[in-house]
Amino acid sequence: MKLTDKSCKAAKTKKKSYKLADGGGLYLEVMPNGSKYWRMKYRYLGKEKRLAFGVYPLISLLEAREKRDKAKKLLINGTDPQEFRQEEKQNKVRNAQNTFQVIALEWLENQKERWTAGYAAKIIRTLEMNIFPFIGTKPIANIEAPALLDVLRKVEKRGALEIAGRTLQICGSVFRYGIQTGRCSRDPAHDLRGALKTRKTTHFASLDIKDIPEFLQALERNSARLYDRTRRAIRLSLLTFTRPGELRQARWEEIDLKSKQWTIPAERMKMKRAHIVPLCRQALKILDEQRDETGMLKTPWVFPSQVSPMKPMSDGTVNVALKRLGYHERMTAHGFRALARTTIREKLDYAPDIIEAQLAHKAPGPLGEAYDRAQFIKQCHKMMQEWADYLDSIT
């Protein structure tokens, strides 16, 4: 006879525990202390087993029957309900430990050897500001595309479209790492391609070849009354076309006057590989002038800050100077790279592979792969001197 809620409530205690059957293996076990437990008896692979469903009346008769029916469906499909429950519990524990933030920090730790300290700090700051406060504590396996999109929309609403796109890329890398390490099965970031707003791509402002003479004359006249070391930084940037951060953080210990080259250490390079910058006669002259002015400061920086000599010049110094010279929105510190690439290709007729390698880009051709060979270094030395001589010829 099946149980009723009334019969469950009315069940009295006895000296020993006893069972009230409901059918299908489900029964209510009444304990001597008055506690009543739902249990289910079943057989799996010929072995009798028990499954606990909770305490009555916290778990009602109807709920106990639902749990029994689910267990019987598992049995029909060849699954042991007890093992299924244990696996489910383990998954919950695993998910609680494998949150998006935990996986993201683990991924970051594994990337540190490939990245500069500054780039790693930028990535973690992006995650801390835009992702962790919203889905950082969620199990990575449970995050779906709509939830991730909601978070990225918050960044979009600030007008930070580039940051939103970059954050999506970072999240995609974290999800792929989660898949590789068995903590999630899919990458929802992949499903959001094309979902975010984008701005029309713009490049760093750079002068046209025909504007170089006017620019060099304006720099020489110095009508904006720039500090001499700032003017030298601009001239050296034009001669070496290194990235602005690489130039302002140049240290005297990296300069080899004998071999006429500047070696930028791998940790400061985007490609995580030491980069050699050949120094032409004009560049060496600038460095001599810079040492004459700053040598007494005992600073390791080639271009120290005007205010704090033991720190490098500010990352905005050159761009501010260009603005004061009248080249606002026409030229940027980074624009010297595009200017050199275009002019050297068109006027000096050097192979693109050599130019790209000197720009510290990954060159696809055979010359790019040979960048560390002495013969290729000689080609770069020759190219850099011809570039400086060309600039002198048009001033």
- Residues 284-328 have pLDDT tens digits of 999 999 999 998 999 999 999 988 999 999 888 998 998 888 887
Mean pLDDT of 65-91: 90
Q: What is the pTM of this model?
A: 0.52
Residue with the larger pLDDT of the pair 273 and 389 = 389
Confidence category of residue 367, pLDDT binned at 50, 70, 90 = very low
Mean pLDDT of 350-369: 72
Rounded CA gap, 332 and 330, in Å? Answer: 7
Per-residue confidence (pLDDT) for residue 368, from 0 to 100: 45
Per DSSP bridges, beta strands 18-23 and 255-256 are unpaired
Q: Each residue of 171-206: pLDDT tens digit?
A: 999 999 999 999 899 999 999 988 998 765 445 667
Q: Each residue of 120-175: pLDDT tens digit?
A: 888 999 999 999 999 999 999 999 999 999 999 999 998 888 889 999 999 999 99
- Edge-to-edge order in the sheet of strand 36-44: 18-23, 26-30, 36-44, 47-56
Per-residue confidence (pLDDT) for residue 267, from 0 to 100: 85
Per-residue confidence (pLDDT) for residue 43, from 0 to 100: 93
Give the distance from CA 249 to its chain's centroid: 23
Q: Residue 196 to residues 165, 174, 344: CA-CA distances in angstroms?
A: 7, 19, 38
Per-residue confidence (pLDDT) for residue 186, from 0 to 100: 92
287-322 in b/e burial notation, b at 16+ Cβ within 10 A? beebeeebeeeebebbbbbeeebeebbeeebbbebb
Backbone angles phi, psi at 118, to 5 degrees: -65, -40
Rounded CA gap, 284 and 281, in Å? Answer: 5
Q: Each residue of 226-246: pLDDT tens digit?
A: 889 999 999 999 999 999 889
Q: Which residues are designated catalytic?
A: 243, 270, 334, 337, 361, 371
Does residue 352 surpass a pLDDT of 60?
A: yes
Does residue 209 surpass a pLDDT of 90?
A: no
Mean pLDDT of 60-71: 95
Q: Are 370 and 376 in contact (CB under 8 A)?
A: yes
What share of the chain in percent tops pLDDT 90? 61
Total H helices, total E strands in the chain: 17, 7
SS3 310: coil
DSSP 317-331: HHHHHHHHTT-TTT-
